């Protein structure tokens, strides 16, 4: 009979600027590699961690969720608090454990997800700012957020996003559902919150790049419907830079807030 393990989920944040993406690979620093190393140092175990979704080089996370199994017993809130504190003591300053949860053995960070939310930031001002470097896409031309909202409205629902993904992703099923797109301006920052069950590779970044290009070219909002119909990557706009993209939130059912956690804020 195998040794009984307990499954732990972590809510993590990271600045993707100095990472070669999430997934462990030969050559280059990765978020997965850093976290697995920290867990090994702390627990003397070597579990493979699984994320809610991979992030590319330069992409950030405000609410990434991962899970892994430990032989070490983690039984209560105090154990989880110590786990967070000790892992953060080992990890470098550009990645942080925000919370820890004791989850059921059938919980899966990726496959148990009911909703994912991405955030994209645009710095919209004619002059550059040192404070948005590696944090937001810089667009000099004045953007009309009402135009962006009208155009993005056509992307809601279950649609074929073949025109809005990396060409290699177009070989698989490209139908996805976007549940909501919220676009807000606060002074010089325009934020895009995009929610859906799953996303294709580069899908959010291509959507943002297309919205900005359409705006610059004075295209009617309905033009994006034609881009969808063509189902060709070369019919859409540029791929927006990775550093404006944040994995903002991952939702599960039942929610992680109902699990035993280190901190009640979730």
Catalytic residues: 56
Smallest Cα–Cα separation from 152: which of 115, 129, 127, 178? 178
Pinpoint the alpha helices (H) of 74-196: 77-90, 145-152
Copy the structure tokens of residue 171: 């070989």
The contacts of residue 26 (CB under 8 Å, 6+ apart) are none
Helix (H, G, I), strand (E, B) or coil at 65: strand
Copy the structure tokens of residue 217: 């070219």
Measured from the Cβ of residue 172, the count of other Cβ atoms closer than 10 Å reads: 11
Helix (H, G, I), strand (E, B) or coil at 202: coil
């Amino acid at each position: 009979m195998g040794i009984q393990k307990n499954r732990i989920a972590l809510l993590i944040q990271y600045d993707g600027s100095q990472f070669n993406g999430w997934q462990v690979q030969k050559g280059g620093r990765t978020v997965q590699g850093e976290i697995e190393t920290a867990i090994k140092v702390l627990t003397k175990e070597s579990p493979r961690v699984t994320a809610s979704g991979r992030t590319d080089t330069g992409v950030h996370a405000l609410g990434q969720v991962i899970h892994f199994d430990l032989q070490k017993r983690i039984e209560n809130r105090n154990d989880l608090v110590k786990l967070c504190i000790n892992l953060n003591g080992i990890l470098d300053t550009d990645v942080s454990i925000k919370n820890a949860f004791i989850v059921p053995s059938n919980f899966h960070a990726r496959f148990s997800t009911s909703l994912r939310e991405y955030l994209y930031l645009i710095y919209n001002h004619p002059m550059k700012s040192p404070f948005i470097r590696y944090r937001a896409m810089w667009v000099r031309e004045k953007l009309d957020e009402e135009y962006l909202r009208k155009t993005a409205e056509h992307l809601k629902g279950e649609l074929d996003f073949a025109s809005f993904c990396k060409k290699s992703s177009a070989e698989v099923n490209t139908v996805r559902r976007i549940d909501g797109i919220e676009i807000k301006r606060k002074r010089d920052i325009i934020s895009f919150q995009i929610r859906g069950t799953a996303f294709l590779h580069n899908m959010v970044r291509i959507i943002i790049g297309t919205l900005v290009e359409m705006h610059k070219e004075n295209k009617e909002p309905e033009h994006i419907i034609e881009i969808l119909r063509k189902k060709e990557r070369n019919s859409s706009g540029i791929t927006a830079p990775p550093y404006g993209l944040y994995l903002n939130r991952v939702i599960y059912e039942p929610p992680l807030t109902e699990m035993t956690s280190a901190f009640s804020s979730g």
